[in-house]
Amino acid sequence: MWILRAAVLSLVVIMGVPWQTATAQRSESAAAIHFVLVSDLHYGLARARFRGDSAVSAAKVNAALAAAVRALPGTRLPDDTGVHAGQPIGELGFVAVTGDIANRAEPGVQSAAASWQEFLDTFVAPLNAGRAAPLPMIVATGNHDASNAIGYVPALTPRTDTAAMAGLLRLIDPVQYAQRPPFDYTRDRIHYVRRLDGVALMVLHIWPDSAERAWMEQELSSIPDSVPVLLFAHDPPMVDISHFTAPGGGPPGTGGFQALLTEQWQGAPLPGARFEGSPTLEGFRELVRRHRNVRAYFHGHQNWTEFHALREADGTALLPAFRVDSPLKGRDSATDDTKLSFLVVTLDAARQRLTVREYRWDHVSAASRWGPQATILLR
């Protein structure tokens, strides 16, 4: 397990209280860690319009995204009520990518192997250009990455391609990867914990189904209750039901299920299945109730920026959740470059708070690049 440490920064341990009690108070502290959240890069697709051109490849769009992330250290945060307001961002602690790096190799879409190489060449390499040490990254599995590895209905070309999934493992831990046998989806679920001094970053495999929660419980048992845990996953808290394995099992496509999650779906068949009321959703809620140091959930998949929450059945907010835009498939940004965005997250250890801000990275006006922000307590 490697440990992320921001330069000239020593974090204190952060305690845990209900996030709903957080109030936005301006922080003057210089002790802050900043990270960026992006998702759904979808290499292999093209954006209809980008910066005046048409049919612009994901490689070109994501290279521009990488350039915007590289430029952040010279940017000041907005003069708002959030953590470190009005202060320069400085060096990033890490970049998080919550899946769907390689689009499924559907008709007309390149292979996962080609998409993964473009990700390394046009996103990872530019972020590290000129740096003495690589910029730390945490990466998660998306449903497209996983479908390339195990197959999909209709069939892909090639039918299976583990390059992106194996690439994720190699990027996470190249030393351990070199000692592994060839990638096997049933064995090599990509989930891990990284320590940001007094904070734990828990990266999940697509979504916390019953098998994933068993792993989470094991990991959480070794994390002190005083240490806040931030979750990173591809799917939102209200998971895409089609990602489960079909009742009774079966390959991808059985009953409309993609077999990306180990757990077999318990409930009504697709397409009319409802997630509210399912035992697996209640299992996730119960885990969060018992582990109050789990403080936030970051994800992609649905391709717009939103500050929302995992909620109880009665609508009460249980865990703050942060969804991020996609540079290729954005619901709001697909036809408007000025709405392209990623999230800039600032963690203040001394005041035990975290602020998430939307950053509109291709907006023509620098003054208009900062969108909404939300601040939560980590104690």
pLDDT in tens, the chain (379 residues): 333 333 322 222 222 222 222 333 333 445 789 999 999 999 999 999 999 999 999 999 999 999 999 999 989 999 999 999 999 999 999 999 999 999 999 999 999 999 999 999 999 999 999 999 999 999 999 999 999 999 999 999 999 999 999 999 999 988 888 888 999 999 999 999 999 878 999 999 999 999 999 999 999 999 999 999 999 999 999 999 999 999 999 999 999 999 999 999 999 999 999 999 999 999 999 999 999 999 999 999 999 999 999 999 999 999 999 999 999 999 999 999 999 999 999 998 778 899 999 999 998 887 789 999 999 999 8
Residue 110 CA to residue 156 CA, distance in Å, equals 10
Residue 40 in tokens: 């759904």
User: Kind and range of the H or E element at 47?
Assistant: strand 46-50
Structure confidence at residue 145 (pLDDT): 98
User: Kind and range of the H or E element at 170?
Assistant: helix 163-172
Structure confidence at residue 27 (pLDDT): 36
Question: What is the DSSP code (8-state) at residue 45?
Answer: B
Residue 55 in tokens: 């049919």
Structure confidence at residue 26 (pLDDT): 37
What one-letter code names the amino acid at 80? D
* In contact, 141 and 151? CB cutoff 8 Å: no
Structure confidence at residue 273 (pLDDT): 95
- Share of the chain residues as helix, strand and coil, in percent rounded to the nearest 5: 25, 25, 50
Structure confidence at residue 341 (pLDDT): 98
Q: Residue 172 — φ and ψ, nearest 5°? A: -70, -45
Structure confidence at residue 40 (pLDDT): 98
Structure confidence at residue 178 (pLDDT): 86
Structure confidence at residue 196 (pLDDT): 85
Question: What is the DSSP code (8-state) at residue 192?
Answer: E
Residue 103 CA to residue 108 CA, distance in Å, equals 11
Q: Is the dihedral of CA 188, 189, 190, 195 positive or negative?
A: negative
